[in-house]
Amino acid sequence: MRHFLANIATYTIAIFLISAAALFGWGRSAQLVISDEPTVLQRFAPAPGHPFEWTALGEKGYRRNCQSCHGPEGRGWDQYPKLDHTASLFLAAGGREYLIDVHLYGLTSARWGAPMPPMAHLHDLELTAVLNHVLTHFGNDQRLDDRTVLYEPEEIGPRRGQELSPWGVEKRRQEIVLPGRQ
Ligand code: HEC
């Protein structure tokens, strides 16, 4: 009888562990679909005449791709910059295009001890959502107003495929940013 009870206990524990592992695996894969699966991302594509619902995708995309360097609240740390000046770059002439290029080709400047890596693997929809997320958070929203037109997914594709290095992106920054601006 004692053996019988011990076996039941062992099986119960084993079943519990296997289910926990399965649940954990499922949870992980459910998160991983973002940016790895264009077909899944396509679900977020706006239907003609409908606005792009980017909020949830932007938050998730920021957490997955940016916060390890720029911090959960965009405050930066160590050699990684804060993201509170992104709206002033966006509003400068040429800044709208420049910010897309930073993400597609990376950025190397003398301002920071590390480069920003290229993020060209991000799907157009996800990159649009993440850019809009940054522009509406971290204090950037205060520089925008009702007339601000945020990014649309169609803006990303035409900027892919340029011959642009992270140093080349820095050159473009010098052209667009007014002297004295961060
Ligand atoms: C591996 C670390 C790392 C990751 C991941 C990363 N960045 Fe950066 N980012 C940097 C560094 C370092 C710089 C500064 C580069 C420089 O000026 O040389 C930077 C610069 C920037 C800038 C400022 C550009 C400018 O002209 O001042 C923006 C905006 C930005 N990152 C947004 C993002 C977003 C959004 C993501 C996620 C999609 C992201 N970064 C992911 C490290 C990172």
Which atom number of ligand 1 is nearest to the Cα of residue 133?
35
Q: Does some domain include residue 95?
A: yes
pLDDT at position 44, please? 87
Q: Does some domain include residue 172?
A: yes
pLDDT at position 5, please? 81
Quote the domain boundaries for residue 107: 50-176
Which of 70, 85, 105, 169 maximizes ligand 1 atoms within 8 Å of its Cβ, making it the mutation to test the pocket? 70
Q: Does some domain include residue 13?
A: no
pTM of the model: 0.82
pLDDT in tens, the chain (182 residues): 677 788 888 898 888 888 888 887 776 665 544 555 677 788 888 888 999 999 999 999 999 999 999 999 999 999 999 999 999 999 999 999 999 999 999 999 999 999 999 999 999 999 999 999 999 999 999 999 999 999 999 999 999 999 999 999 999 999 987 655 54
Give the CA distances from residue 127 to residues 21, 124, 133, in Å, rounded to whole numbers and listed in that order. 32, 5, 10
Q: Does some domain include residue 76?
A: yes
Residues with CB under 6 A from ligand 1: 65-66, 68-70, 79-81, 83, 86, 89, 102-103, 107-109, 111-112, 114-117, 119, 130, 134, 173
CA-nearest of 128, 142, 57 to 91 is 142
Q: Does some domain include residue 93?
A: yes
DSSP symbols for 31-65: HHTTTT-HHHHGGGSPPTTS----HHHHHHHHHHH
Q: Does some domain include residue 28?
A: no
Q: Does some domain include residue 78?
A: yes
At position 65, the amino acid (one-letter code) is N
Q: Does some domain include residue 144?
A: yes
Q: Whose CA is nearest to atom 39 of ligand 1?
A: 66
**How many domains does the chain divide into?**
1
pLDDT at position 23, please? 81
pLDDT at position 28, please? 66
pLDDT at position 113, please? 93
CATH number where 105 lies:
1.10.760.10
Q: Cβ distance 120 to 144 under 8 Å?
A: no
